[in-house]
Structure 1
Amino acid sequence: EFYDLFQVSCHGIPWITIWLASIWIIWNKSYFEVQVNFFIGLIIDIIAVSMVKAIARRKRPPSNRSDMLFAVGPDKFSFPSGHASRACYIAFFFVWLHPVRPLLMYILWLWAAAVSCSRVLMRRHYILDVLGGVALALVETWVVYCIWFSQYTSEWLVTWITEESAENDEYNV
C-alpha cells in the first residue's frame, strides 16, 4: 500500500541506525554538533512517545491491522502517534534549529504532513493521536533547543564514545 512508504520512512529503528552510521561514515567534526543534537532529539522522541503511550494506554482504532513491524510494549497503544511526532520533530529540527535550504524545508513540511495524515488514513491512529504527536514534537524540539550541545561538547562526546580522534582520524588504542 502507498501509505506503507510513509510508515517505513518514519520508523524509529532505521532513523537511529542510519543516523548513527552517518556519524561514522561521514566522520567530519564540523557536522558533529548537528549530528549529536539531532540524535539526542531522536532518543528523546522515542523515550517520550513510549512513556506517554505506557501512561495513556489508549487502544488503537478497531479497524487497525495488527501487522506492524516491531509493535511491542507501548507501541501496541495509540496515543500519541510516534510516527507523527518523529516526522514533525525531524521537520522542526531542520526548519528551526538547523535551517536547511527553503526547498528542502518545503519537502520536510510536506513529508511530515503526509506521514501524519497517513497514520489516520491507514487507521493506525485517531486524529487526536496524531495531534498529540505533533504537540509532543514541538516540546521535544524546544527541549533540544534548551539543551543544545556545543560544537566542542559534541566533538568530545563523539570521540569519547568512539575512542576515535577527530583531529587526525587515527584510532587511539
Structure 2
Amino acid sequence: MTRVPTFEELFRSSRESAVHLEMRDAYMKSDPAYVDWQKGIRLDPAERWADWHSIVSEAVGRGVAVRRARIVSEPVSRYIRFEHEVTDGLNIAAGEIVRWLPRNRAGGVALPANDFWLFDGSLLLVNHFDGEGEMLPSTVSEDPQEIKLCADAFLAVWGRGVAHADYRPA
C-alpha cells in the first residue's frame, strides 16, 4: 500500500499550485469547531486552525497559488453556512482564493466522484468520506487521465464560480 503524504508534506513540496474542489453539502459534522459553532460559540479561525493557516500561508509565501472551489446546493445546508462564515478568517486569511458555485449552475461540467486536491497539476490527493461526511483515508494518484479529469473539472467550476467576497449563501 502506498503511503499517503500528509497535507504538510504536499504543501511543502508544491512549487506552483494547489487546487481543491469540494462537492459535498456537509463534512465531518463531529468536528468540534462545527459543534461549537452550532452552539453559538464564537470561533477564532486563526486560533482554532493555526496549523492549517501556517501550512497554507507558508506555501502562498513561496509563490504557490492556492485556490479552492466549492459546489453547493441552495438553499445551503447549515454546514455550508458554517464554512462560509469561517472562510474569511481561515482560508482567505491564509492566502487562499475561494469561489463558490451553486450546484444548479454546475450542469454540463464533468465532475469526478470525489473531492480532491491537485498539486502542481501532477499529484492528485483524493478525499474520501462516508455517507455521514466523516473523513476516510485519502488516496494519491499520478494517473494522467484521472489528473486531467480533475484539472478540467476544477477549471470549469472555477470559471463559473463566484468569488467568496461576492457570494451570499441562499
Calculate the TM-score normalised by the size of structure 2.
Answer: 0.25
Of structures 1 and 2, the larger Rg is shown by 1
Calculate the TM-score normalised by the size of structure 1.
Answer: 0.25
Q: Which has the higher strand share?
A: 2
